[in-house]
A and B are shown apart, each in its own frame.
Chain A
Amino acid sequence: MSVEANIPVDRGAALTDFGTIYRKHLPLLVGTAVAHFHISEADAEGLAHEVFLAYFLKAGEVINPRAWLLSALANASRYYLRKQARTVGLSHHIANAAAEARSPAAVLPDQLMAREMVGCATARCQLALRLRYWEGFSIPEIAEELDTSARYAQKLVNRCERQARDRYAAKEKR
């Protein structure tokens, strides 16, 4: 049999230690990003905080916090540098246009462009619309995800589009 790659988390212990681990390791992480990756101190601090946030979600499963944090920081720094190298030389206008083109929201029907609009729908509709328009699932894939028939999934998506539009319009009127 296979193993489960999820590891049980001791949440109580995780939170008690988090503040201590944070205070103890923050200077080390910032210093490492600055010294080894030549990242500015302000950006290094931002990266270190991102790493701590990631750690926060899985603190209870980490055996060796120092090794974990340093590895996460090293990977985050490399990612940061790669991203910096890619964006250098692109004007804001081009970069924004490219980002917009890549966004799945760019292919949404006008009425569903806004996340806020979907947020007005019921939980089931939010899920169906997210699968359809953000994740690009086909109707049979949505049906499989929701444990239903393709026919019902198609009806659901249509109904949810209407629901999100109507509720958003009603909210706007108020």
Chain B
Amino acid sequence: MKTIDPGDEFLAVVSRIEAERTDARPLIEDLRRSGELLWERELPESWRTAGFAMELLTSASDVLEEDPRKSLVLAQLALTVVTSIPEGTYARPLQAQLAGSAWKEIGTSHRYRSRYDAALRAYDAAQRCFESEASLSHDVAILDLNRAIVLSDWGRNEEAGTLLESAVPILREFDDRRRVVQAQVIAGNIRQRQGRFAEARSIYESALRDLDPDDLHTGAVLHLNLGRAETEIGDFHAAALHLQRARAVFSELSMPAEVARTQWALASALMRAGDFDRAVPILQRTRADFLDRSMPEEAGLAGLDLVETMIATSHPAEARSLTERILEEFRSAELNARAITALAYLRDLLPSARQSGLAVRHVRNYIEQLRHEPSRVFIPLPE
């Protein structure tokens, strides 16, 4: 009797999964186009495959930049598919890795929408999946990196630093140079948030030197961050050069949300340099972009930059009306109630305040801080 080589058997499983992926692609393409995700139906048996889940995850990742809400829904569907695959269909580590990857994608979609609690909850669920299997230590380290991004965005810098310290040696072990550089970027972000701009600049410059030349995305992120650090340091010429390079690469990579963020940073540099005429149209486009992408918090903050320019150029009525619109957007997106209170304060203050520009910056900074410290109390400016 002929015995089956375990290697052949293993490769046959891999080929089967790849065939499932091929079958899934047109179906998922249809789902993406029609927007219908069949949530109200029982999942067809033919969908309950590892290949289908993998393709859904790929789609979730593909649309993340453009539409984080859609990415979330696709990742949730992937999770539902993975967990409805009958036990024993595939090796357990594969199902754990897929479920963990679905949770990771869910977490990242939440992060893009500034829902940090939900993001961390999803990453915790991903960790439970990854840690249940021996072979997924790289996934655990990547997850720690993702978590560090959320925590640093949230201002929980010490926790973010601890996670980076534990993740980097494992990433090095896997020769994952890209993510090691990404960890440097996060470390630079932490310094930047602490107002240590020169230190941040030097970390970014060092990361640029370590960067794999093929890693265009991280390179663009580094230029964007360098642009922001230079703006704070006051070297607007250097800032503009870095930001233009970042914008060019993000455009080349078809990453519209990042292009919008870079434009926003460029507008901020122009504002800081006092060039409001050039800053305003950029801010208007950026704000519209964020609104189209269901990113109300970013849209609101870019809007407050516009309010500041309107005040600086003596257009108080427009400034008040825009503040009112931002307030409505925050309300309908059910963003932090404290941010809504601060915006209402600004709206009521604007027609009469003597130091309106200062009030706008005060509220804007507060809303930005709320992203890191959601329970921070709003204190109005002294009368």
Residues of A within 8 A of B (CB): 1-9, 11, 15, 18-19, 22-23, 26, 45, 47, 49-54, 56-58, 62-64, 67-68, 71-72, 74-77, 79-80, 83, 115, 118-124, 126-127, 130, 134-135, 137, 141, 144-145, 147, 167
B134 lies within 8 A of A79 (CB): yes
Q: Is B37 an interface residue (CB 8 A)?
A: yes
Question: Shortest Cβ distance from B362 into chain A, in angstroms?
Answer: 24
B residues whose Cβ falls under 8 Å from a Cβ of A: 6-7, 10-11, 14, 17-18, 37-43, 54, 58, 61, 64, 69, 76-77, 79-80, 83-84, 86-87, 91, 93-94, 97-98, 101, 104-106, 108, 115, 117-118, 121, 125, 133-139, 142, 145-146, 149, 152-153, 170, 173-179, 182, 185-186, 189, 212, 217-218, 221, 224-225, 228, 258, 261
Output the nearest chain A residue to B7 by Cβ-Cβ distance. A26
Choose among A23, A50, A121, A141 the residue that contacts B121 (Cβ–Cβ < 8 A). A141
Q: Are B182 and A5 touching (Cβ within 8 A)?
A: yes
* Sampled A-B contacts (7; CB under 8 Å): A3-B217, A26-B7, A63-B177, A68-B174, A123-B39, A123-B42, A126-B80
The answer on a CB contact under 8 Å between B61 and A127 is: no
User: In the complex, what distance in Å separates the CA atom of A174 from the CA atom of B61?
Assistant: 40
- Enumerate chain B residues within 8 angstroms of A74, measured Cβ to Cβ: 173
Q: Is the CB of A130 within 8 A of B80?
A: yes
Minimum CB–CB distance from B148 to chain A (whole Å) comes to: 9
A2–B42 touching, CB < 8 Å: no
Residue of B nearest to A57 (CB): B97
A45 touches B6 (CB 8 A): yes
Q: Which residues of A contact B86 (CB under 8 A)?
A: 119
Min CB distance B159 to A, Å, is: 15
B343 CB → nearest A CB, Å: 22
- Which A residues are in CB contact (< 8 Å) with B77? 123
Specify which chain B residues have a CB less than 8 angstroms from the CB of A123 in the assembled complex: 37-43, 77, 80
Contacting residue for A47 out of B43, B101, B135, CB 8 A:
B135
CB-nearest residue of chain A relative to B167?
Answer: A5
Tell me, in angstroms, the Cα distance from A115 to B82 when the chains sit together: 12
Bound CA–CA A74/B174 (angstroms): 10
Query: In the bound complex, how far is the Cα of B22 from the Cα of A111, in angstroms?
Result: 37
Instruction: Tell me the bound Cα distance from A54 to B268 in angstroms.
Output: 43
Whether B14 contacts A18 by the Cβ 8 Å rule is yes
**A6 nearest in chain B by CB position:** B61
Whether B10 lies near A52 (C-beta < 8 A) is yes
| Chain A residues whose C-beta falls within 8 Å of the C-beta of B178 in the assembled complex | 7, 63
The 7 A-B residue pairs whose C-beta atoms are closest, nearest first, are A75-B137, A67-B175, A79-B134, A76-B134, A50-B135, A124-B39, A3-B182
